[in-house]
Amino acid sequence: MPDNLIDVQTRSAIAIVALNRPDKRNAMSDEMRSEFIAALERIAADPAIRAVVLTGNGKGFCAGGDIAGMERRLHAPPGEVAFNGWSRQQRVHHSMSLLHTLPKPTIAAVNGAAAGLGADLALACDFVIASADASFTWSYIDRGLVPDGGGLYFLPRRVGLARAKDLIFSGRRLDAEEALRLGIADRKADPETLLSDAQAWAAELSHGSATALALGKQILNQSFELSADQAFRLGSQAQGICYTSTEHREAVLAFLDKSKGKAR
């Protein structure tokens, strides 16, 4: 087993977070999830990191939940199964919520199979760029389960309700082309350039005010559940904060200096 189940490298203010169980196609174990949570918490608190690219080491992005963990649950005493499952789900939800609400742009660079929880993990990011080798499947139904990593929330918002039901009820596999056509992936890349393309995109998305990005993302993440009035009020509050930010002050002064220079 690798020393680090989550490999984090920072390149030009972009954190490259790689799931690191290549021999298991990066299936998410409880230990791996704990490292993932810790990594996301560090990244969220680090102002030097402006964006995140999430990928998988080896040939797979993430094969979903760890089968060994599922087997252990089958052998738990009957009176403990429900509470153990509930406790584990709190960690699943915490990790996915951290990723979804991270106050920085996030891009899933899907380099191979994204199955079950792995497909949910990709959609918890703001954007998805898929390698030509990528595939997506909400295969929970094949294990007698429902999507527990946010797929019931994220997928209908990507593809619409009827198509989300089709993908979740059937558990069928989509290649990169179909994922792009349906809107599950936003961009496609050659396998050789996937990470560099994702990094360039992350840099493009994160060059502006970190304050405005964080506040705007928080509101956008809620926008389908908000009324227009609620969205306006949250936007007004966020703008009030932006007015006081160093980034806003410096941007306005730089614009004014440039305008004065043109007027001379």
CA-CA distance, 14 to 189, in Å (whole number)?
Answer: 19
Greater pLDDT, 1 or 257:
257
- Residues 175, 180, 186, CA angle at the centre, nearest 5°? 130
pTM value? 0.93
Return the domain boundaries, the chain: 6-205, 210-263
Half-sphere exposure of 125 (CA within 13 A, CB side): 27
CATH match of 6-205 with 3.40.630.10: no
Confidence class for position 2, pLDDT limits 50, 70, 90: confident
Domain 210-263: which CATH number of 3.30.2000, 2.40.160, 1.10.12, 1.20.1300: 1.10.12
DSSP 28: B
87-100 per-position pLDDT tens digit: 888 999 999 999 99
